[in-house]
Amino acid sequence: MRDALLFDGPGRARKLSRFWALLLLAAVIASAGVITDSTATVIGAMIVAPLMTPILGVVLSVVTVDARNLGVSLLLVATGALAVIAVGWLLGQLTPVRIVASTNSQVAGRVDPTLMDLLAALATGAVGSFALVRDDVSDTLPGVAIAISLVPPLAVVGLTLESGAPAQARGALLLFLTNVGAILLSGLVVMAIYRVRATAAQGWGTTRRHPRLAVAVVVAFVVVLAGPLAVDSTQVTSDELTNSDVTTVADKWADHIGWQVVKVAATPSGVTVRAIGPLPLPDPQTLRTALDANGLSSTSVQLELDPIKRVDLPGG
């Protein structure tokens, strides 16, 4: 486990060069995947990225009370994260359009983390740690790399910062920190279950202090992250319920006048409804009346009407 996770020993230089080469390449792949809105490309970056190695190195260093390697692993996580953000920002400079949630699904899926993301990250981190302590399940690591999103959120941070969307950048950074905290917490639990500290202690010759303070810091870190995640979860749930109610009313309204609702989306100021249909344009106030009649009088709606003009061009 030390050989797999820690950057020390005679092969230290080789491990570091491998880490940085793969991380920077993964950052380019992830940023390009986000820019082109390509899920397959982003998944490729997840598999290539080696950022989970120093994160689990932090876990092992805490369990074995190895202060030196703890510092090295933390430094690699921090500098690696900054490097990926920088790559995302630089590639954003080469893109003529703004890479933001409203126009890019890869960004939209990473700027509003919730408690469900924390739960998924805890389970995924546990699988990753389990694969380290059990050599018979190591073939699950590619799946762990895909499930635990580390580099793509950082690429989104850089791209959204460059696009002038700091609030979205904060959301993507929160997702990254959530995943890191979940890996640390679940890793500590798994290594405690498998008595990794007791096994390592057999070769120490002396009894080392128990890492209670470090464990407490990890737990506190996850608890602190859970606060904004809970707030976001509440907001997302509220937006989804409102969107569902507005969609139901808008669909009935559009069907009655021979139009079709093609988009319902939450915005900071309310809900945007986009409808298409033949001329003449319907009276927007009829939708407002329908919303009020269905208990949505407090919901602000922006209605976008796109008329479709049909012209017959008969052949000779």
Per residue in 100-111, pLDDT tens? Answer: 998 899 999 999
The pLDDT assigned to 205 comes to: 47
The pLDDT assigned to 220 comes to: 95
The pLDDT assigned to 142 comes to: 63
Residue 151 has which token pair? 């580099």
The pLDDT assigned to 316 comes to: 67
Query: What is the number of H-type helices and E-type strands within the chain?
Result: 13, 3
Give me the CATH topology for the region 239-308.
GMP Synthetase; Chain A, domain 3 (3.30.300)
87, HSE (Cβ side, Cα atoms, 13 Å): 26
CA dist 144 and 129 (Å) reads: 10
Residue ranges covered by each domain of the chain:
2-210, 239-308
The pLDDT assigned to 206 comes to: 46
Q: Are 267 and 302 in contact (CB under 8 A)?
A: yes
Amino acid at position 104, single letter: N
169, HSE (Cβ side, Cα atoms, 13 Å): 16
The pLDDT assigned to 237 comes to: 85
Q: Is this prediction's pTM over 0.85?
A: no
Alpha-carbon separation of residue 46 from 17, 125, 155, 180 (angstroms): 19, 14, 11, 14
Q: Write out residues in the chain with pLDDT < 50, as ranges.
A: 205-206
The pLDDT assigned to 139 comes to: 57
